Structure 1
Amino acid sequence: MPRYALLIEYDGSPFAGWQAQADQPSVQGAIESALARLDPGFRDGARIAAAGRTDAGVHASGQVAHADLQRDWDPFRLSEALNWHLKPAPVAILAAARVDEAFHARFSATERRYTFRLVARRAPVTHDRGRVWQVLGPLDADAMRAGAAHLLGQHDFTTFRSTMCQAKSPVKTLDQIQIEELPLPQGREYRFHLRARSFLHNQVRSIVGTLERVGAGSWHPDRVAEAIAARDRAACGPVCPPQGLYLTGVGYPQAPFGSG
C-alpha cells in the first residue's frame, strides 16, 4: 500500500482537537471522512497518524500526517481531491508527497515548532478573534526574554506539564524560544516561537502563561528558574488559553515536501 505524507493547515476553533472522537468533531475525523470518499481502505476504518495531537481550539499551519492508501495517487491530485471533499471544514491539505513505508509522521519527526500569538491592548480584537490570546495591559518583552532564557536546554519540565500528560518522562530539551514584538493599532502583538524535538502536554501554553506574568511585572524573570527547579505543577504560572497556539512545522531527517 503506498504511503503519503500530508501537510495540513487548520483552524482549530470548531474542533475538539486533532484526535478522532466518537461524539465530537475532530480534524483527524474530517480528513479521514474525506479519504473515505477516495480510498476503499478508509471506508473500512483505516486511520491516519499525525506528528502532534493538538488540543481543542489549537490551530496548525504545518501539521504533518501520513496515510496508507490502496490506490496509487499522483500527490497533487490527491491533495486537490482531499481539499474538495474537506469543504466546508476549515482544514486544508497544503501538499501531499509519496513517502517510503519507513516514514512515520510522529515517530520519524526530529523537531516540532509552535508559535503562540498574544495581543496586548484595551480594545477587543476583531479580525483575529479566536486566533490570539488577548490581555489588556502592556508587556515587557525584554523581561519575558530574560525569563525564557532559563527554559532553554534540557530540564525536568514537571512544573510546565499537565497532570494529564501521558509522556513517560518530564525531561525535555527546549532548543529555541524566540519572542517577537509587533506593533498593532493601539497595542502590541507578541509571538512566542518554540522549537524542540517533542513537547509535553500543555507545555507551550504553561510556558507562555508564565512568561506573560513576567512581562506584566507580576513575576521577576528569575522566578522562572525557581519554577523549573520546584518540579511542582503548583509553581507554574497560569496556563493560557488554546486559541493563540499554532503548530507551525515539523522537521524530519529528509523533508517529505522539499523544505523543512
Structure 2
Amino acid sequence: MQMLLTLRFDGTAYHGFQVQKNALSVCEALQDGMQALYGMRPPVKGCSRTDAGVHALEYCVSYMPPKLIPPQKLPLSLNRFLPGDIRVLAAREVPDDFHARYSAQSKEYLYRIWNSPVDDPFEAKYHWRISQPLDEAAMARAAAYAVGTHDFAAFMSAGSKITDTVRTVHFFRVQREGRAIVLHICADGYLYNMVRILAGTLVEAGAGRMPPEGMRAALQSGRRALAGDTAPAKGLFLYRVNYGG
C-alpha cells in the first residue's frame, strides 16, 4: 500500500513544489524530512505543480513508504523533521495504483485580493492588494462566463507544452469579506497560470476597465491579449483536492 499525505505549506520561501536544480522547493524540503525519518528519500508524486510563492491549505502527496509507520502516527513523526512553514496534516493508506495527481477528480483554488489603499502588514504575504475600489458583483458576473466546459487557451501563459486547452470549471465564486475579496474556483484541471490569469481578468472587470462580457470574448477568441494580467503568485492557495469515493 502507498501512503497519501495531506500537507499545508506557506510557499513564500519556495520555488514551487517540484524539485529544482538551483532553488529550494517544497518537495526537496519534504524529502529532506523523509531522509531523516526513513533513512532514505522515497520518490513522491505531488497532486499539482505549483509556481514559486504559491501556498497550499491542502496539498496531497503519494509515495511508497520504505518502512511502516502507522498513518495516525506519521504526521507527528514527519513534522519533527520539517521546516515550520510545511506541515503534514493527515496520512492514510491508498492502493498501489493511486496517483496523487492523476487520481484527482477536481482541484479547488482560492485567490485572495486585499481591496484597500493601505496594506495589512500581517496579511501582505498572502494577498494581492488593489487600491482601486472593486465591484464584486461585476466580478461575479464575469466569473460566471468561465463556468462550464471551455477552451481556456486565452488563460494560459506562454511556455506551456500542453496542446489540449479544454477544461471544465465546476464553479467560480466571488465573495467579499470586508476589505478582502476571495475567489474560489473548482475545475477538473488547470492550464499554466490559468487561475492567476482568471483572477487578473476579474480585477479588470471589477475595476470597470473591462465589461463582464469580456470574459466570454476572451474565451471565444483564445487570445491571451484579451484576458487580464497574471495576478501575483502570493495570493493563490491550493484549497482542496477531490478524489471522490
Could you say which TM-score interval applies, normalised by the shorter chain? over 0.9
Q: Distance in 1 between matches of 2:92 and 2:210?
A: 46
CA distance in 2 between counterparts of 1:22 and 1:155 reads 35
Residue pair 1:145, 1:179 contacting (<8 A) in 2 also? yes
Could you say which residue in structure 1 is the equivalent of 2:22? 23
1:103 alignment partner in structure 2: 98
Q: CA deviation at 1:168?
A: 3.5
Partner amino acid, structure 1, of 2:203: E
For residue 41 of structure 1, report the CA deviation from its aligned partner. 4.2
Q: Is the 8 A contact 2:12 2:55 kept in 1?
A: yes
Query: Which residue does the alignment assign to 2:169?
Result: 174
Q: Is the 8 A contact 1:41 1:69 kept in 2?
A: no
Equivalences for residues 218-233 of structure 1 within 5 A: 218-233=209-224
Deviation at 1:3, TM superposition (A): 1.1
From 61, 83, 92, the equivalent of 1:65 is 61
Q: By how many angstroms is 1:194 displaced?
A: 0.2
Unaligned runs of 5+ in 2: none
Task: Say which SS state the counterpart of residue 89 (structure 2) adopts.
Answer: strand
Deviations 1:106-139 (A, max 9, x none): 1100010000000110112211021111010111
CA deviations 1:65-122 (Å, max 9, x no partner) are: 111112011112211111100034x000000111111211011000100000001101
> For the Cα contact (< 8 Å) 1:125–1:134, is it kept in 2?
no
| Offset, 1:22 | 2.3
3-state DSSP class of the match of 1:147?
A: helix
How far is 1:230 from its partner?
1.2
TM-score (ref. length: structure 1): 0.91
Cα distance in 2 for partners of 1:69, 1:225 equals 47
Instruction: Please state how far the C-alpha of 1:250 moved relative to its aligned partner.
Output: 0.2
AA aligned to 1:65 is V
The residue type paired with residue 75 of structure 1 is P
Query: Counterparts of 1:76 and 1:85 in 2: how far apart (Å)?
Result: 17
- Normalising by structure 2, we get a TM-score of 0.97
CA distance in structure 2 between the aligned counterparts of 1:213 and 1:12, rounded to whole angstroms: 26
**Whole-Å separation in 1 of the counterparts to 2:95 and 2:34:** 20
| SS in structure 1 of the partner of residue 126 of structure 2 | coil
Q: State the match for 2:244 in structure 1.
A: 253
Match of 2:74 in 1: 78
Size of the aligned set, in residue pairs, is 245
- Deviating beyond 2 angstroms after TM superposition, the runs of 4 or more aligned structure 1 residues are 165-168
In the other structure, the counterpart of 2:135 is 140
Deviation at 1:165, TM superposition (A): 2.2
Deviation string 1:192-229 (CA, Å, 9 cap, x unpaired) is 00001111110000001001010001111111111111
Could you tell me how far apart the structure 2 residues matched to 1:164 and 1:174 are? 23
Unaligned runs of 5+ in 1: 255-260
**Corresponding residue to 1:210 among 178, 189, 201:** 201
Q: Percent identity?
A: 31
Residue of structure 1 equivalent to 2:52 = 56
Kept in 1: contact 2:29–2:83 (CA 8 A): no
1:235 aligns to 2:235 (yes or no): no
The CA distance in 1 between the partners of 2:226 and 2:100, in whole Å, is: 34
The residue identity in structure 1 corresponding to 2:4 is A
